[in-house]
Amino acid sequence: MEGINGTVFAYGQTASGKTYTMMGQEDQPGIIPQAIDDVFAYIREVFDREYLLRVSYLEIYNETIRDLLNPQQQDLRIHEDRKRGVYVSPLREEIVTTPKQVMKVIQRGEQARSYGSTEYNERSSRSHTVFQMIIESRDKNSGVTIPGRVRGSVTLSQLNLIDLAGSEKAASDLDRRKEGAFINKSLLTLGTVISRLTEDTVKPVSAIHIPFRDSKLTRLLQSSLSGNARVSVIATVSPPLPNLEETTNTLKFASRIKKVVLHAKQNQVLSEKALIQKYKLEIAELRHKLMETNDLLEQERALQDIGLERSIRMQYEERLHEGQLVRTALKERIDHLTRLILSSTSVTPKAILDWNAPLLEAAMAGVGVSHNIYTSPYSIMFM
């Protein structure tokens, strides 16, 4: 929330609880829903900043990247530039304003996700997924100058919440075997990348060859692992004895990754291209136009009152009507853009929803609707 990139991922063998840890269940939300709630709780408590949140959701399946929010968009490309680092395009990003809306976006993405049944897990993730939230914020009081440039800088950060597909031994089914080979290859590359990053060498990291490009997963994690992010890794293991070898491997991976040293910095951009700046500027310009339209309407009204002949009066009336339509359109656009920018006062306080949840539940029971209710501190979601 303060401009430092963050990445969280779960690593472990198939069926050891990665998806469970990241997504959780209705009565026990996982890392992703909890992180989303925390983001909104944070915004509610910070009085001097305003925020714009964008989310995207992708999966890497058999070494191709698919946009889960726009599933027709297959085989997306990875690009890199100095300002943005490594990024995927064309990737759909959606602006979100409530935790409930974010969870709906995730659910939509989940429906497009690749699952399959394996010997170990009835609903096994056959792909790696990356849920990304981009958080832009600016000082509420930095102001806007009309016409032209917005003032102040924007703090920008990415939160990547990653659910990896599980490593597994060779499966009997051909499709599963192919998927397994891709999954194992990317996880192996991840292991190699981590080893290289933690090698005992006097050379700086920039002088060592690190095979980020050998898999889509490591290429996507490149920015996080090679520098500007705080990374948390959750290792999941499965207790039964036959899993001992996989458990040992997971723990070795965990102990290696703990040694990676990162230097996360706060990202400040002056760019007017930040969406929050663009919207602030547009709101200010629209308000300016609205004031001009109001002035014109006042003048038209004043002229109408001075007893003009009928045909001229009708012309004025028509212009007045058109002016009112323009004013309504301007107001609607201003309201829409203003709603997208979040501040401590625009995020619904927890107490209101806590108070409403039992009422809603009682109302649903009263009309005999069968339901599961998921209540997070800021959202009430019927599924």
The residues that touch ligand ATP, with contacts defined as CB under 6 A, are 12, 14-20, 121, 124-125, 165-166, 236
Nearest distance from C-beta of residue 116 to ligand ATP, angstroms: 9
Closest CB to ligand ATP among residues 17, 227: 17
Closest CB to ligand ATP among residues 11, 279: 11
Nearest distance from C-beta of residue 112 to ligand ATP, angstroms: 16
Nearest distance from C-beta of residue 28 to ligand ATP, angstroms: 8
Closest CB to ligand ATP among residues 44, 126: 126
Q: Is 182 left (phi over 0), alpha (psi -120 to 50) or beta?
A: alpha
Closest CB to ligand ATP among residues 18, 216: 18
Closest CB to ligand ATP among residues 10, 52: 10
- Residues with Cβ within 8 Å of residue 213, at least 6 apart in sequence: 219
Nearest distance from C-beta of residue 131 to ligand ATP, angstroms: 14
* Contact yes or no for 86/97 (Cβ under 8 A): no
Nearest distance from C-beta of residue 35 to ligand ATP, angstroms: 17
Q: Which residue is nearest to ligand ATP (CB)?
A: 166
Closest CB to ligand ATP among residues 125, 376: 125
85 token code pair: 């680092």
Nearest distance from C-beta of residue 270 to ligand ATP, angstroms: 41
Give the span between the Cα atoms of 79 and 180, in whole angstroms. Answer: 26
Residue 152, class by beta-carbon neighbours within 10 Å (0-12 exposed, 13-18 middle, 19+ buried)?
Answer: middle
> Which stretch of DSSP H or E encloses residue 355?
helix 350-366
Closest CB to ligand ATP among residues 12, 323: 12
* Contact yes or no for 271/154 (Cβ under 8 A): yes
- Name which of 55, 39, 37 is nearest 353 in CA terms: 37
154-163 and 6-12 strand pairing = parallel
Closest CB to ligand ATP among residues 166, 191: 166
Nearest distance from C-beta of residue 172 to ligand ATP, angstroms: 16
Give the span between the Cα atoms of 50 and 344, in whole angstroms. Answer: 8
Q: Annotated binding site for ATP, which residues?
A: 12-19
Question: For residue 150, what is the DSSP state?
Answer: B
Number of H helices, E strands in the chain: 9, 16
- Residues with Cβ within 8 Å of residue 137, at least 6 apart in sequence: 1, 3, 49, 50, 51, 52, 154, 155, 276
SS3 28: strand
Nearest distance from C-beta of residue 370 to ligand ATP, angstroms: 22
* Contact yes or no for 86/79 (Cβ under 8 A): yes
- Name which of 164, 169, 153 is nearest 189 in CA terms: 164
